[in-house]
Chains A and B, each alone.
Chain A
Amino acid sequence: MKEKAIYITGGLAGIILLLNIYNIFMVLPDEANQGAVYRILFFHVPPAITGMVLFFVAMVGGIGFLSFKDFWWDALSVAAVEVGVVMSVVNLVTGSIWGRNQWGIWWAWDARITSQFLCVLIYVGYLVIRPAFSDATQRATISAVLSIFAFADIPIVWFSIRWWRTQHPGPVLETGGLQHDMAMALLYNTIGFLLLGAALTLIRLRSEEVQREIESMRRLAHAL
């Protein structure tokens, strides 16, 4: 059943993204100021949204583990964080390249990319500290608390850095007002990336469950 879910979400994601690529390249016109490069937008914003959704899912997983003590929730949490970090990295990389094109530098410390980078750092901390716990229950508990602390920080981080940037003005990545067909393309790509994120999370989740099975077998093997 899990396999089917993965294939369906993955397949849907693939179809949507492929169709949309045709749309993005062939159908949409160029933007006035930026030429062709603005099309990066369609692969810059959806991963960011997917990342944030996944970080929220990770927090839900954390709360779920603390409430129900079922390790499935912990597996969901770590899977969501990992895929969320990947999506956020895509956002950072595309943002950096876009910025290089627009402003000539690879990193301009504009509010959005800085906030996103900080969020990635927070969740990378989550991923790095997990292996440091050998006891599964302790690891899951600490991860759950971390996922709550981390997600609570996201809006504060975004607000504080944006406010700081208001006081120290700098470059802003122009996304401007979107025409209707561009907005639709963005919506389709967002759905595509959300499905892709879901598929990857499910795969990672299953992988985590296999790992838990291995750990319990190891304990059994040592006991015998």
Chain B
Amino acid sequence: MIEARNFQFLVLGLSAAWAVVIAYMFYLVRRDKKLNQELSRLRDMLSDREKSSR
């Protein structure tokens, strides 16, 4: 049902499309992790300072 004609390009095209989307998803996940780490670090630092200032 599917011709071999131009099939390679089709695979290339779809792979490229999804590669871009998945690369962006990875970027989002990594960014999220980094931000959450920074957030908990700041939270710890702030609670330490509060305790020490009391």
A and B touch in the complex (CB under 8 A): yes
Binding site for B on A (CB under 8 A): 25-26, 29-30, 34-37, 39-40, 43-44, 47, 83, 86, 89-90, 93-94, 97-98, 100-101, 196, 200, 203-204, 206-207, 210-211, 213-214, 217-218, 220-221, 224
Residues of A within 8 A of B12 (CB): 97
Residues of B within 8 A of A34 (CB): 6
- Tell me the bound Cα distance from A29 to B2 in angstroms: 7
User: Do most interface residues of chain A lie in helix, strand or loop, or is the interface mixed?
Assistant: helix
- 5 A–B pairs (Cβ distance < 8 Å), ordered by A: A35-B5, A39-B14, A40-B14, A97-B9, A220-B46
Q: Which of A26, A101, A220, A224 contacts B1 (CB 8 A)?
A: A26
Q: Are A30 and B2 in contact (CB under 8 A)?
A: yes
Q: In angstroms, how far is the closest chain B Cβ from the Cβ of A142?
A: 22
- Tell me the bound Cα distance from A40 to B35 in angstroms: 36
Given that A35-B3, A86-B24 are known contacts, is A211 also in contact with B35, CB under 8 Å in the complex?
Answer: yes
- Tell me the bound Cα distance from A34 to B35 in angstroms: 47
- Tell me the bound Cα distance from A101 to B10 in angstroms: 9
Scan B10-41; emit 1 where CB is below 8 A from any A CB, else 0: 10111011101100110010011001101100
Q: Are A93 and B46 in contact (CB under 8 A)?
A: no
Residues of B within 8 A of A214 (CB): 35, 38-39, 42
Q: Are B28 and A203 in contact (CB under 8 A)?
A: yes
Q: Are B16 and A94 in contact (CB under 8 A)?
A: yes
- Tell me the bound Cα distance from A30 to B31 in angstroms: 41
Interface centre among A35, A47, A218 (most CB of B within 10 A): A35
Q: Are B31 and A98 in contact (CB under 8 A)?
A: no
Q: Are B13 and A196 in contact (CB under 8 A)?
A: no
Residues of A within 8 A of B13 (CB): 37, 40, 43-44, 93-94, 97-98, 101
- Tell me the bound Cα distance from A37 to B1 in angstroms: 13
Q: In angstroms, how far is the closest chain B Cβ from the Cβ of A49?
A: 14
- Tell me the bound Cα distance from A211 to B33 in angstroms: 11
Q: In angstroms, how far is the closest chain B Cβ from the Cβ of A92?
A: 9
Residues of B within 8 A of A204 (CB): 28
